[in-house]
Structure 1
Amino acid sequence: MTDAPSDVPPEAEQERMVEAMLFASAEPLALAELQARLPEGSDAASAVARLAARYEGRGVRLRRTGDAWAFRTAPDLAWLLRRETVEARRLSRAAVETLAIVAYHQPVTRAEIEEIRGVSVSRGTVEQLMEMGWVGLGRRRETPGRPTTLVVTPGFLDHFGLASARDLPDLAELRAAGLLEAMPEGGAAAADDAEDTDDA
């Protein structure tokens, strides 16, 4: 067994480097990006794991969002950071419904969204969600016309503190929160169907 090269930083130093990169970054960083920036022979995955354990229970935590990592405020302390301001841009009901359908049924086509909602989806609604960085284009369907699909983005996951779309609340949680009653006609049935399918 050979020793690691002497120029490989100690584990504690690798952890410090990862901490500095994540702290300074405005966006979550993927492991591959962290690994590429570290000195050769370093182990970004181990450094991230140690760092996440170190910050557990602190005011900020290291959280996975999609395939990337970022420091985020501990959920139980978020109330300290709320500012009494009015959001400059609110989502319309149509946009909220469209976003929910994309999140729970992705990858989904515009025609499928319209079928679930029971009304047509305006181009502006989808464009607004894309401009916000919450919805993006997925792969094309292998069906006549090869329509494009819509999927939620890492920005959506990051905004809502989700590691993946599988962390979205399930039917029981939505019912407990009283949100199913507000769904459009046919929405509850569509959500029931979604529970029986596995997101691709």
Structure 2
Amino acid sequence: MSRVANDRAAKNSGAKASRLPDTPPPSDTVRLAEALIFCASTPVTEADLAARLPPGTDMRAVLAEIAGAYADRGLVLARVAGGYAFRTAPDLAPALRGGVPEPRRLSRAALETLAIVAYHQPVTRAEIEEIRGVTTSKGSLDLLLETGWVRLRGRRRTPGRPVTYGTTPAFLDHFGLDAVSDLPGLDELKGLGLLEGRLPAGFRVPQPGDAAGADEDPIDGPPLPGDAAAE
């Protein structure tokens, strides 16, 4: 996990464990919820859990019970990508580095493209190139689509109907974020040492969000030929 992800996991860890209910939910219900979260390959939402647990289950109480049980363990219950998942306790991250195969590293161009998509979505390829100041290669966007961190969102209501790009729940999950709005802002980026020196006058970090653009139509059905690298 990156430092940002660890900080996010610590902040999101647990479903408010300090507010455990006076009457704990039935242990069988808690155990089932724990198993459902543990076995899931992606973060599990409250709605997903409610569909599998007894009717009338107090989901907040169940999640708080699980979070409290794992508060001092090697794993913690974290809220990521709008759901819940077990993650390594942030304070153990230094001891675990090197024990997991390194994932495929992204090129600088791909990282810059990913950052632009995350902060400026919905964004077209032409807009990405304008922000970066260089032509974006077909390979960078293809790689991000392949990793599952970037998706085709829709089409702009402009001539040519260019495709717009945005991030995915897998992106949020990987970086330990609950929502795009949890991406670090200017002050946090400075605190992490990612922005150093004197910044240009008027420099700002966009307020990230994933709401539909006013001039954007969703993509219906399968993507058209060339969409992955178009526009």
In the superposition, the TM-score normalised over structure 1's length comes to 0.79
Quote how far apart the aligned CAs of 1:85 are: 6.8
**Greater relative contact order (CA < 8 Å, ≥ 6 in sequence):** 2
RMSD over equivalenced CA pairs, Å: 2.8
Residue deviations 1:82-124 (CA, integer Å, cap 9, x gap): 2267736221110010011111112211111111001111121
SS in 1 for 2:93: helix
CA gap of 1:190–1:34, structure 2 versus 1, over 3 A, is farther
SS in 2 for 1:29: coil
Match in the other structure for 1:131: 146
SS in 2 for 1:76: helix
Aligned-partner Cα distance in 2 for 1:123–1:144: 21
SS in 1 for 2:123: coil
CA gap of 1:20–1:128, structure 2 versus 1, over 3 A, is same
Aligned-partner Cα distance in 2 for 1:140–1:81: 42
Match in the other structure for 2:27: 12
Match in the other structure for 1:103: 118
SS in 1 for 2:84: strand
Choose the corresponding residue for 1:94, options 75, 89, 109.
109
Aligned-partner Cα distance in 1 for 2:65–2:176: 21
Point out the structure with the larger helix share: 1
Choose the corresponding residue for 1:165, options 169, 177, 180.
180
Q: Contact (CA 8 Å) 1:65, 1:161: kept in 2 or not?
A: yes
Query: Unaligned 5+ residue runs, structure 2?
Result: 1-24, 212-231
Residue deviations 1:40-97 (CA, integer Å, cap 9, x gap): 3334343223322332343211111122110001111112222267736221110010
1:192 aligns with 2:207: no
1:60 aligns with 2:60: no
Aligned-partner Cα distance in 1 for 2:202–2:110: 17
Choose the corresponding residue for 1:80, options 95, 98, 102.
95
Query: Unaligned 5+ residue runs, structure 1?
Result: 1-9
Q: Contact (CA 8 Å) 2:185, 2:205: kept in 1 or not?
A: no
Q: Identical aligned pairs, as a percentage?
A: 54
In the superposition, the TM-score normalised over structure 2's length comes to 0.70
